[in-house]
A = this chain, B = another copy of it.
Amino acid sequence: MNPLQRAAPVDVEALIARRPMGLSLEAPFYTDEAIYDLDLARIFGRHWLFCATEAQIPEPGDYVTMDVGPYSVILVRDEGGSIRAHHNVCRHRGARVLWDECGSVANIVCPYHQWTYRTDGTLIFAESQPPTFEMEAYGLRPVSVRTMAGLVFVHLGERPPDDFAEMAAVLESYLAPYDLRNTKVARQEEVVQEGNWKLVLENNRECRYNEASHPDLATSYFPVFGYSENDISPQLRPVFERYLVAAERLEAARAAAGFPRDERREIDTRVTGFHISHHPLDGEGSSFGPHAEPLCTRLLGSIGQPAFGDLSLKFQPNAWFHFLSDHAVLFRMLPAGPTRSVLQTTWLVHRDAVEGVDYDPEALTRSWRITNAQDTALIAKAQDGVENPAYEPGPYSLVEDDIEACIRWYVDRLTATGEDVGAAVAQYAAGL
């Protein structure tokens, strides 16, 4: 731990107030436990969080669990087919109820004394309680849940932001053609990142899959990704021309499919921030194969052709997605301490795609598994550096403007309610 934390509590309000535009955050934002708690309370306790896809829990009784700081949530499809979320804590003596990351149950049974709940959360068995015991008062505590085009979001607190429906209305038209409800999980991996969750987010929001850091993934992306015409040096000119041709081709395909065409960059303009954009890919223009070729022969939804680029969705605070013609990759990031995060990556293919026939899971997942490992190393280096007292915030470059917007959103959301810092954290810690 940086001794700053022990020497004197950080003045969170002052740090927020003096944050200058265009520079990386001061060190305590990446290292301090009090700010981490505030992040949990005000960011992860008060915003919609991406949890899973409906495709992960297709049948009644199917569930996933998700840990968010000290909280744990059960996402489950109930007997009626509805998706529910519950706090993963038994109402008897408090044991954690479900332990696996995913599974399937008839009822939800606590392993300690077999208190038994329906998948909708109602308590149906509690041993040796007196006749006055009111069963209906001891159901699993509910968590808010919303779905959008097959993506499922939860909210830990009591007053979720009211702009979810508005966001969903925008995004569903982008996502509907991929028909995510008719997909299945081809693979899933979880990687621990030894860095504060904002360093993980910044690392993602760079939007640059450059050759130095990510040579494998870089073959799919144009090395002018994120550049404007002004940034193009004579040396990059041929690549940029190739990019313009691919962009025009994608534009035509999109028009033919009646697909929304405008980028929506709502990073720092709303409570539930997001950013959706549709980019051409280099090479074959289709997917994340070594030459940007497809990795699954069965295309998703109503996408009619392989060369349909990368529909990229970034969601604040905890997810980003790539939708290709042939598969989708979903990233879910959650904090696991002031200097540790967990990144879950899920690869989806069409429900009817056959492993070993339509796709090879090793090939399908290769580029992002490698990229995740490379990012893990970079994030650890970044974390180590900001813990050094010699660190001073430095200038974001011109191609790092999405990071700046994200950080602006973050700082703004920390202060949005105007309420006292200590009160926010105490409420979170005592149960939202």
Contacts and interface: CB of A to CB of B under 8 A. Distances in A.
Interface of A: 2-4, 6-8, 24, 27, 33-34, 36-37, 40-41, 69-72, 87-97, 99, 111-114, 126-130, 133, 138, 141, 202, 212-213, 231, 377-378, 381-382, 384-400, 422, 425-426, 428-432
A389 B37 contact: no
Given A114-B212, A378-B112, A431 B93 contact: no
Q: Which of A3, A4, A41, A384 has the most CB of B within 10 A?
A: A3
A394 B70 contact: no
A32 to B, nearest CB: 10
A424 B325 CA distance: 59
Contact of A71 (B113, B389, B396): B389
B429 A2 contact: yes
A92 B6 contact: no
A384 B114 contact: no
B381 A133 contact: no
Given A388-B88, A429-B389, A397 B126 contact: yes
A276 to B, nearest CB: 24
Task: Tell which of A40, A389, A429 has the most Cβ of chain B within 10 Å.
Answer: A389
B384 A96 contact: yes
A390 B87 contact: yes
Contact of A428 (B36, B231, B389): B389
Contact of A129 (B111, B395, B426, B430): B395
Given A112-B378, A385-B89, A385-B90, A425 B7 contact: yes
A154 to B, nearest CB: 13
Nearest to A109: B212
Nearest to A3: B37
Contacts of A94: 24, 27, 382, 385-386, 388, 391-394
A96 B388 CA distance: 8
Q: How often does this chain occur in the complex, in copies? A: 3
A96 B7 contact: no
The 9 closest A-B pairs by CB, nearest first: A4-B429, A87-B390, A7-B425, A128-B397, A3-B37, A96-B384, A94-B385, A96-B385, A95-B385
Contacts of A130: 398
A390 B141 contact: yes
A113 B213 CA distance: 8
Contacts of A387: 70
A394 B71 contact: no
Nearest to A32: B6
A395 B70 contact: no
A35 to B, nearest CB: 11
B428 A3 contact: yes
Contacts of A70: 2-3, 387-389
Contact of A431 (B8, B111, B391, B426): B391
Given A2-B70, A72-B388, A111-B381, A394 B428 contact: no
A251 B96 CA distance: 42
Contacts of A426: 4, 7-8
A111 B385 CA distance: 12
A431 B390 CA distance: 5
A93 B2 contact: no
Contacts of A428: 3, 7, 389
Given A70-B388, A382-B93, A389-B432, A128 B231 contact: yes
A413 B97 CA distance: 32
